Amino acid sequence: MPSPSDSRDYRVLFFCPASLAQAERIEVPVGRLLSRIQAPPAELAPLEEAGTLSEAGWKVYMVRSLSERSAAHALAAYVSEATCTLAAELEAEVLGLYVDVSGDSARVCRCEPDQGPETFAGRRHVALGRTAEWLEVAPATLAALFQLEAPDDYEPDAEDRFVEEKLQEARTLMEQYRRHAKVST
C-alpha cells in the first residue's frame, strides 16, 4: 500500500484579483474538479499573511487538505485546468501555482478568460521567479509563503538564459499578435 503524501510537502495556490475573489465563487469549481479526480477532501483557505500580494491587488487561496493524504498533490496535474476554470468563473486573470516544497519542482499557470493558459514548469526557484514576474511582486514575497529561503546566489546558466530569451521573444510575439487581433476586430 502506498504511503500517504504529506500535505505539508505539496502546495497549490490560486492568485485571484482581490476585487473579484470571493471564496464562494472559487470553492465550487475547485470542489467539482477535486471530486472528479477523486482527490482527498480539501478546502480553499485564504492566506492572510500575503500582505505584499494583497497590496499588489491579489487575493491568495491555498488548497488545504482535510486528511493526511494531500489534495494538493492530487491536484498537481490539474493546475492549468483549475486555473482556467477560475479565470472563466471570475472573468479575470488568475494564476495557479503548484509547489513541491520538499522537492525542487513547481508548476505555474496564468490564464485569462478569453485566452488559453500560459504555463511554466521547472525548478522551484525558477518557477517562483516566473510567478513573481507575472504577479509583479518580488520573488522573496512568494518564497515567504512557503517558508523557503529565496536563493541569493542563484545565477542562471546558459540553458536558463536561452530559455528565458526564447520566452521573452514568445511574449513579444504574442503581444504583437494580440494587438493585431484587436485592431482587426
* Cα dihedral sign, 161-53-13-142: positive
pLDDT in tens, 82-99: 999 999 988 999 999 999
Are 92 and 20 in contact by the 8 Å Cβ rule? The answer is yes
Beta-carbon contacts of 71 under 8 Å, excluding residues fewer than 6 positions away, are 7, 12, 34, 39, 40, 41, 42, 63, 64, 65
Instruction: Please report, for the chain, the start and end positions of each structural domain, with discontinuous segments joined by +.
Output: 10-154, 156-184
Q: What share of the chain is helix, strand, coil (3-state, %, to 5)?
A: 50, 20, 30
pLDDT in tens, 20-71: 877 778 888 888 888 898 888 888 888 876 677 888 888 899 888 887 778 8
Q: What pLDDT, on the 0 to 100 scale, is given for residue 52?
A: 77
Q: What is the pTM of this model?
A: 0.73
Query: Among candidates 58, 21, 62, which has minimal Cα distance to 42?
Result: 62
* Cα dihedral sign, 116-117-118-122: negative
Q: Terminal CA-to-CA distance of the chain, rounded, Å?
A: 57
Average pLDDT over residues 155-172: 69
Going edge to edge, which strands form the sheet with 10-17?
42-46, 58-65, 10-17, 94-100, 105-111, 118-122
| 91, three cell numbers | 472573468
